[in-house]
Amino acid sequence: MCGRYVIAGTTELSERFQLRQIPAELFPTWNAAPSQELPVIVGRPDGGVEVRFMQWGLLPRWRREGQRSLAPINARAETLLEKPMFRGLVPGQRCIVPVDGFFEWRALDGRKQPYYITSRDGALWGLAGLYDESPGPHGEPVASYTIITTAANDMLRPLHERMPVILRRDDEAEWLDRAETDPRAVEQLLLPYPDDRIELWPVSTAVNNVRNNAPELIRPAERQPGLLDG
């Protein structure tokens, strides 16, 4: 799954996704958490892309006001076209969630040890997502998103059976292409990421508290017996 992530390389977003404009409110976060307003990349009708801020946790447009339980932060790739909440979004409301890396927890000796997972070459990742807009308390549209997950690769399976879909760079344009409306075509892009392009290491449990938001959260913790090596 994916429940926390890092987007620190905000100055790289423009070149990485060929953005015309970067919002002034864009700033790094080392502990992005559900319900926060975070940057998401979406396709434009003219074929370009733009960055928008959306709430993490999908709020479907048909939900009744106050139904906070209907705000999934993740959606399983294998059942996207079966679930009413997601299948209508796949043809035209796909997005990319830019991240430097994400956190996952491993049960160890009665506690949960957090790990930071990131790209071996230091490049930004684009996670596959879906978004929707629902009416806010005063009728204004509220944009929200969910991150798609798939089966974990061999490297991450000791931590969790699921992992976010990290799109291959060559597949990102197709995922954002609003002219591509065939769900089966884009469904083929939702694959586990190669093990040899990932590295991970244990980090401080300070990441467990969403109020903590600093670069120290992704620094390697002291190695302890039984911890998984990256």
Give me the domains of the chain, ranges plus CATH numbers. 5-218 (3.90.1680.10)
Residues 6 or more apart whose Cβ sits within 8 Å of residue 222 = none
Selected residue with higher pLDDT from 174 and 108? 174
Neighbouring-strand partners of residue 163:
150
Q: Is 104 a catalytic residue?
A: yes
The yes-or-no verdict on residue 23 having pLDDT over 90 is no
In this prediction, residue 227 carries a pLDDT of 47
The yes-or-no verdict on residue 202 having pLDDT over 50 is yes
Catalytic option among 2, 12, 216, 222 = 2
Q: Is 133 a catalytic residue?
A: no
In this prediction, residue 230 carries a pLDDT of 44
Q: How far apart are CA 33 and CA 175, in angstroms?
A: 24
Give DSSP secondary structure letters for 89-152: TTTT-EEEEEESEEEEEEEETTEEEEEEEEETT-PPEEEEEEEEEEE-TTS-EEEEEEEEEEE-
- For the chain, what is the mean pLDDT? 89
Mean pLDDT throughout 46-59?
A: 92
Catalytic option among 104, 161, 187, 216 = 104
Name the amino acid, one letter, at 173: A
Q: How far apart are CA 76 and CA 62, in angstroms?
A: 20
